């Protein structure tokens, strides 16, 4: 068992330690050069198990997409390490990087923006085959494109068509076929169903679940839709202001969350049952999420937490076991564990 | 007069498109009472947004033909002169659109946009309008309203912007508030704040609300009555309990079945596949002759479904508000 992430180390496909993605921000007006730092991802430890679907949830600006991008090195991290099946993702280059690109794919949010309108479906889906030299010869590639389209539930006969001839759901299937072309082990789905209608969302969720079982894929499913994440995931990680604040089995996090932020988030999700909705006590959080350029000291949720108490100000909480087996929460309510905040002699928190 | 805030009767909208006439709304009738929330639900292209834009005369006359009746507090919006309609928008009906970034003017301060709305409908001094604007921002829960008046929209978060848009819509105490996907672009925690806010204001002022959304979870929490749109028609309406707990139309059942359920995801430890509605909605330029849902219907029957349009009729004989559906097959799906 790994002490940091509460999983069995032999099953881990992707291992993230102390990951940081910080962006420089320009100051305003005369302070233009007094550059600050936007902490999009700020110290994430995460293990993704072989063959699992890990759901990553959080609100806009919490850093979940940046994390997904950094894991595939689409954004270079500024600190920490990422290990993908023995490859150090942060430093790999040349052939190794190309192999990583083949083995780890991405399904994007907007199927209208992620497909080139001037290329046919066949051209889009066969590009990875050419790049990675997976099928030699046009005929073999065409046959493979046909297989891939069938795999995602499209008629192979549509290969010659252009994206505008398809509905949003069909385009998302094309995007999935392209991501699968390299026969990857790992897929990051970044808000892959967010721009689809309800009935089409269900089709794509079912498709992803089927593909995952059929091909033994490992999925990082990033979404703000908790119901969808709860439906598709084996484990769920909750992000707030650049940190993972709770992680655990989907059933445990979904029905018995241990971190006050997760509790508030779940209580805010409306469910389509009028009787339940009328009974429900929503935890309405105060205010807005602080800017990731000005993260509160100590617990980053303390400015909005309904249970805030003494240590929240002084100790940055670490993930610790709470609730069900395998469930971790970064919250002092389960015992004060973490890094004390260093202060200047005046009592002001020092810049980390 | 029947004490309703809004009575819509046989509303039809036809748009001229390069591909021929598109029948986007096809005979919609409903009422909104004081303090009542009517949710209009349906997928993209079902005609839900166009139907309310038509009410307020916000569709370009060159391409849209609107017929029917829409009586707001005794006056028909559809036959109203443009000058009168301008007076009614505001005190009569306020509207909150989906995207607060595009519904606010980026080069004007929040205060100016609020003051403009207030002074357009009342003989108020600038200073008084500004005080009223600050009060409104306070009412919608914006911290430090005095300072917020001098901010530009880009300086505010999405949730704060949407509060500003709501404050503008409420600035003339409308009898009817139309919220078109007002919380769709927001995070769930902010959505919860906005819903609380609108429900509170509604309770205080007795505003009638039309809430357009595709999120059936939101509907369950806020609506008194629900109207399900498909292919520009109302295919089912009734109380929120009837429609969501005892759906009668195969389309409504399909929509509900397609939702991942946060409350009960697993059956005996196994998460079942979601039910799906196969196919795609019909194009408004080419609506089916019979039941509008017929080409996608999982329980479709004989030639009648294909050729004869089912009327919206009452089903069951329960007490209370009627539950109606437009389908030939109301029996339980197999």
Chain segment B261-276, per-residue pLDDT in tens: 776 656 666 778 888 8
Domain of residue B270 covers 233-325
Same domain, A130 and A225: yes
* B150 interfaces chain A, CB cutoff of 8 Å: no
Same domain, A217 and A73: yes
Instruction: Tell me whether residues B220 and A169 touch, CB distance under 8 A.
Output: no
pLDDT score, position B318: 65
Which residues of chain A neighbour B190 with C-beta distances below 8 Å?
59, 288
Is residue A244 a part of any domain in this protein? no
Residue B233 C-alpha, separation from nearest chain A C-alpha, in angstroms = 18
Domain boundary among B173, B193, B223: B223
Same domain, A78 and A195: yes
Which residues of chain B neighbour A254 with C-beta distances below 8 Å?
262, 265
Same domain, A226 and A298: no
Sheet holding A328-329, edge to edge: A104-107, A186-190, A218-222, A53-57, A235-240, A243-249, A328-329, A320-321
Same domain, B191 and B266: no
Same domain, A275 and A324: yes
Same domain, B264 and B237: yes
Is residue B199 a part of any domain in this protein? yes
Token pair 């925690």 in the structure block, residue: B189
Average pLDDT over residues A37-49: 94
Candidate from A33-37, B122-126, B232-236 with smallest mean pLDDT: A33-37
Sheet holding A87-88, edge to edge: A36-49, A12-25, A79-84, A87-88
pLDDT score, position A271: 87
First to last CA, chain B: 44
Domain boundary among B176, B200, B223: B223
Beta strand B176-180 with B208-213: parallel, antiparallel or unpaired? parallel
Residue B220 C-alpha, separation from nearest chain A C-alpha, in angstroms = 4
Same domain, B92 and B167: yes
Question: Which residue of A lies nearest to B192 if distances are taken between CA atoms?
Answer: A268
Instruction: Tell me whether residues A288 and B215 touch, CB distance under 8 A.
Output: no
Structure token pair of residue B58: 């916000």
**What is residue B19's DSSP assignment?**
T
pLDDT score, position B302: 76
Domain boundary among B190, B223, B256: B223
Q: Which of A237, A248, A244, A337 is nearest to A6 (CA)?
A: A248
Beta strand B20-32 with B6-17: parallel, antiparallel or unpaired? antiparallel
d(CA B110, CA A159): 50
Structure token pair of residue A107: 């399904």
Give Cα separations from B289 to A220, B44, B94, B228, B293 (angstroms).
45, 21, 36, 20, 10
Residue B210 contacts residue B52 (beta carbons within 8 Å): yes
Average pLDDT over residues B152-181: 90
Question: For B192, which of A205, A224, A284 is closest by C-beta distance?
Answer: A284
Residue B54 contacts residue B212 (beta carbons within 8 Å): no
* B169 interfaces chain A, CB cutoff of 8 Å: no
Same domain, B147 and B267: no
Is residue B26 a part of any domain in this protein? yes
Residue B72 has pLDDT above 70, yes or no: yes
Structure token pair of residue B6: 């809004």
CATH number, domain with residue A161: 3.40.50.300
Same domain, B134 and B17: yes
Question: For B260, which of A60, A205, A277 is closest by C-beta distance?
Answer: A205
Is residue B47 a part of any domain in this protein? yes
* B277 interfaces chain A, CB cutoff of 8 Å: yes
d(CA A167, CA A197): 11
| Banded model confidence at residue A290, pLDDT cuts 50, 70, 90 | confident
Candidate from A128-142, B7-21, B274-288 with smallest mean pLDDT: B274-288
Is residue A142 a part of any domain in this protein? yes
Structure-model confidence comparison of residues A303 and B280, the more confident one: A303
Report residue B232: phi and psi, to 5°. Answer: 80, 0
How confident is the model over A174-195, as pLDDT tens digits?
999 999 999 999 999 999 988 7
Domain of residue A300 covers 257-335
| Banded model confidence at residue A351, pLDDT cuts 50, 70, 90 | low
How confident is the model over A9-18, as pLDDT tens digits?
779 999 999 9
**What is residue B18's DSSP assignment?**
T
Residue A323 contacts residue A296 (beta carbons within 8 Å): no
Residue A99 has pLDDT above 60, yes or no: yes
Same domain, B118 and B171: yes
Our count of domains for chain A comes to 2
Chain centre distance of CA B266: 32
Q: Is A336 helix (H, G, I), strand (E, B) or coil?
A: coil
Instruction: Tell me whether residues A276 and B220 touch, CB distance under 8 A.
Output: yes
Write down how long chain A is: 352
Residue A30 has pLDDT above 60, yes or no: no
Is residue B331 a part of any domain in this protein? no
Is residue B1 a part of any domain in this protein? no
Same domain, B249 and B217: no
Same domain, B125 and B199: yes
Is residue A1 a part of any domain in this protein? no
Is residue A240 a part of any domain in this protein? no
Instruction: Tell me whether residues B160 and A288 touch, CB distance under 8 A.
Output: yes
Structure token pair of residue B55: 């009410």
Instruction: Tell me whether residues A266 and B262 touch, CB distance under 8 A.
Output: yes
Structure-model confidence comparison of residues B276 and B23, the more confident one: B23
Is residue B205 a part of any domain in this protein? yes
Give Cα separations from B37 to A145, A160, A162 (angstroms).
50, 48, 43
CATH number, domain with residue B143: 3.40.50.300
Same domain, A311 and A170: no
Structure-model confidence comparison of residues A60 and A119, the more confident one: A119
Same domain, A154 and A286: no
- B181-192: burial string, b at 16+ Cβ within 10 Å, e else: bbbebbbbbbbb
* B218 interfaces chain A, CB cutoff of 8 Å: yes
Average pLDDT of every residue of chain B: 88
* B262 interfaces chain A, CB cutoff of 8 Å: yes
pTM: 0.86
Same domain, A165 and A286: no
Instruction: Tell me whether residues B263 and A60 touch, CB distance under 8 A.
Output: no
- Over pLDDT 90: what percentage of chain A? 68
How confident is the model over A226-277, as pLDDT tens digits?
999 999 999 999 999 999 999 999 999 999 999 999 999 999 888 888 888 8
| Banded model confidence at residue A33, pLDDT cuts 50, 70, 90 | low
Structure-model confidence comparison of residues A44 and A168, the more confident one: A44
Question: For B192, which of A272, A273, A282 is closest by C-beta distance?
Answer: A282
Average pLDDT over residues B218-246: 94
Same domain, A170 and A308: no
Is residue A351 a part of any domain in this protein? no
Same domain, B174 and B120: yes
Evaluate the CA torsion angle A206, A211, A214, A218 in order and state its sign.
negative
B 19-58 → A contacts, CB under 8 A: 43-44
Same domain, A226 and A303: no
Residue B334 has pLDDT above 50, yes or no: no
Question: Which residue of A lies nearest to B185 if distances are taken between CA atoms?
Answer: A60
Question: For A276, which of B190, B256, B263 is closest by C-beta distance?
Answer: B263
Same domain, B154 and B285: no
How confident is the model over B119-150, as pLDDT tens digits?
988 889 999 999 999 998 988 878 888 999 99
d(CA A24, CA A6): 33
Average pLDDT over residues A200-217: 92
Is residue B330 a part of any domain in this protein? no
Same domain, A225 and A276: no
Is residue A320 a part of any domain in this protein? yes
Other Cβ atoms closer than 10 A to B300 = 18
Other Cβ atoms closer than 10 A to A102 = 18
Is residue A150 a part of any domain in this protein? yes
Instruction: Tell me whether residues B258 and A264 touch, CB distance under 8 A.
Output: no
| Banded model confidence at residue B260, pLDDT cuts 50, 70, 90 | confident
Question: For B220, which of A227, A230, A271 is closest by C-beta distance?
Answer: A271
Same domain, B115 and B260: no
Q: Is B34 helix (H, G, I), strand (E, B) or coil?
A: coil
| Banded model confidence at residue A44, pLDDT cuts 50, 70, 90 | very high
d(CA A30, CA A224): 37
Which residues of chain B neighbour A284 with C-beta distances below 8 Å?
189, 192-193, 196
Our count of domains for chain B comes to 2
Most confident of the ranges A27-41, A294-308, B151-165, B254-268 = A294-308
Is residue B228 a part of any domain in this protein? no
- Over pLDDT 70: what percentage of chain B? 95
**Dihedral (Cα; B305, B311, B313, B316), 10-degree rounding:** 0
d(CA A255, CA A91): 39
Residue B1 has pLDDT above 50, yes or no: no
Structure token pair of residue A50: 């072989």
Same domain, B19 and B146: yes
Same domain, A96 and A174: yes
């Amino acid at each position: 068992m790994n002490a940091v992430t509460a999983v069995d180390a032999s099953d881990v496909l992707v291992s993230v330690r102390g990951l940081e993605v910080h962006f420089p921000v320009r100051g305003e007006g005369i302070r233009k050069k007094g550059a600050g730092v936007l902490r999009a991802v700020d110290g994430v430890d995460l293990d993704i198990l072989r063959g699992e679907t890990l759901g990553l949830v959080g609100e806009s600006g919490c850093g979940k997409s940046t994390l997904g991008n950094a894991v595939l090195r689409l954004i270079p991290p500024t600190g920490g390490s990422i290990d993908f099946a023995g490859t150090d993702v942060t430093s790999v280059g040349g052939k190794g990087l190309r192999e990583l690109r083949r083995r780890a794919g991405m399904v994007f949010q907007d199927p209208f923006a992620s497909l080139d309108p001037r290329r046919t479906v066949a051209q889009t889906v066969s590009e990875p085959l050419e790049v990675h030299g997976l099928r030699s010869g046009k005929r073999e590639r065409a046959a493979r494109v046909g297989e891939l389209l069938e795999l995602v539930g499209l008629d192979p006969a549509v290969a010659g068509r252009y994206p505008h001839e398809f509905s949003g759901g069909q385009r998302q299937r094309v995007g999935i076929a392209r991501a699968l072309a390299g026969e990857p082990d790992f897929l990051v789905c970044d808000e892959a169903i967010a721009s689809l209608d309800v009935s089409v969302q269900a089709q794509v969720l079912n498709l992803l679940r089927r593909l995952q079982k059929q091909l033994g894929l490992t999925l990082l499913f990033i979404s703000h839709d908790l119901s969808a994440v709860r439906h598709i995931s084996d484990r769920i990680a909750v992000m707030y202001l650049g940190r993972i604040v709770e992680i655990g089995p989907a059933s445990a996090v979904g029905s018995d969350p241990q971190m006050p932020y997760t509790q508030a988030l779940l209580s805010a999700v409306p469910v389509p049952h009028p009787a339940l909705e009328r009974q429900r006590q929503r935890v309405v959080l105060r205010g807005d999420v602080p800017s990731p350029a000005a993260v509160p000291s100590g617990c980053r949720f303390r400015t909005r937490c309904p249970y805030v108490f003494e240590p929240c100000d002084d100790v940055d909480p670490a993930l610790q076991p709470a609730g069900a087996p395998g469930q971790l929460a970064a919250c002092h309510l389960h015992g004060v564990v973490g890094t004390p905040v260093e202060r200047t002699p005046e009592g002001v928190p020092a810049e980390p | 007069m029947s004490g309703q805030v809004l009575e819509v009767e046989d509303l039809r909208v036809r748009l001229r498109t390069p591909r021929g006439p598109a029948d986007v709304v096809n005979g919609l009738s409903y009422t909104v009472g004081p303090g009542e929330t009517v949710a209009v639900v349906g997928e993209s292209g079902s005609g839900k947004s166009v139907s309310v834009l038509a009410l307020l005369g916000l569709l370009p006359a060159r391409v849209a033909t609107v017929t029917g009746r829409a009586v707001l507090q005794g006056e028909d919006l559809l036959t109203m002169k443009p000058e009168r309609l301008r007076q009614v928008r505001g005190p009569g009906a306020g509207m909150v659109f989906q995207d607060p970034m595009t519904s606010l003017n980026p080069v004007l301060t929040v205060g100016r946009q609020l003051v403009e709305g207030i002074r357009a409908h009342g003989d108020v001094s600038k200073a008084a309008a500004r005080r009223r604007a600050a009060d409104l921002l306070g009412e919608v829960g914006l911290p430090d309203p005095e300072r917020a008046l001098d901010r530009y929209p880009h300086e505010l978060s999405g949730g704060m912007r949407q509060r500003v848009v709501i404050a503008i819509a409420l600035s003339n105490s409308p009898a009817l508030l139309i919220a078109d996907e007002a919380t769709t672009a927001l995070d769930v925690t902010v959505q919860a704040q906005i819903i609380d806010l609108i429900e509170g204001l509604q309770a205080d002022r007795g505003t009638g609300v039309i809430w357009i959304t595709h999120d059936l979870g939101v509907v369950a929490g806020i609506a008194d009555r629900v109207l399900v749109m498909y292919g520009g028609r109302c295919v089912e309406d009734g109380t929120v309990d009837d429609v969501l707990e005892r759906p009668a139309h195969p389309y409504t059942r399909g929509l509900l079945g397609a939702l991942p359920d946060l409350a009960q995801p697993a059956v005996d430890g196994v998460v079942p596949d979601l039910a799906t509605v196969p196919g795609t909605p019909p194009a408004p330029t080419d609506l089916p002759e019979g039941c509008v849902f017929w080409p996608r219907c999982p329980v479709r029957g004989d030639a009648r479904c294909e050729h004869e349009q089912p009327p919206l009729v009452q089903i069951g004989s329960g007490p209370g508000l009627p539950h109606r559906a437009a389908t030939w097959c109301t029996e339980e799906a197999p």
